[in-house]
Amino acid sequence: MKAKQGMTKTRKDHPFFCFEKNTRKTAWDTPKYLIEQDWAFIAKLIPVLEGGSEVEAWALIWDSFPRAEDFFNRVIGWPEGCTYCRDKSYFCKCGLPMIIKNELPKLKKALAQHTGA
């Protein structure tokens, strides 16, 4: 399908997709999209994820982070999670275990690279 005249094939900004790298935004693949507030949040979240506390993780993501969308869109690249994980039972049974298993190691590495540790 041809693009209509005047339409561009690429966009410069998207909430969760990096057109430059042709991938979803994440702390490990596209750290340039994160602001210091995101990195501070990641530093707070890692010990909570390591501890495995559903209540603390839920509260940190949904209550103290100004926009959970930022976490799901730019930090872990799982925008669907912002919808699914609003359901606390889904978050506790599926979302949190998946985040701990699949994203925690990458978050730790990304934070270490960011801080130079």
Q: Is residue 81 part of a domain?
A: yes
Please name the helix (run of DSSP H) or strand (run of DSSP E) that holds residue 57, with its range, or none.
Answer: helix 54-59
Give the span between the Cα atoms of 91 and 115, in whole angstroms: 29
Q: Number of folded domains in the chain? A: 1
Q: Is residue 50 part of a domain?
A: yes
Q: Is residue 20 part of a domain?
A: no
Tens of each residue's pLDDT in the chain, 117 residues: 444 454 455 557 899 999 999 999 999 999 999 999 999 999 999 999 999 999 999 999 998 767 899 999 999 999 999 999 999 999 999 999 999 999 999 999 999 999 997
Query: Among candidates 108, 66, 68, which has minimal Cα distance to 88?
Result: 68
Q: Is residue 14 part of a domain?
A: no
Q: What is the pTM of this model?
A: 0.85
- Name the residue range of residue 85's domain: 26-115
Q: Is residue 9 part of a domain?
A: no
CA 96 vs. chain centroid, Å, equals 13
- DSSP letter at 86 equals T
Query: Among candidates 30, 36, 38, 3, which has minimal Cα distance to 14?
Result: 30
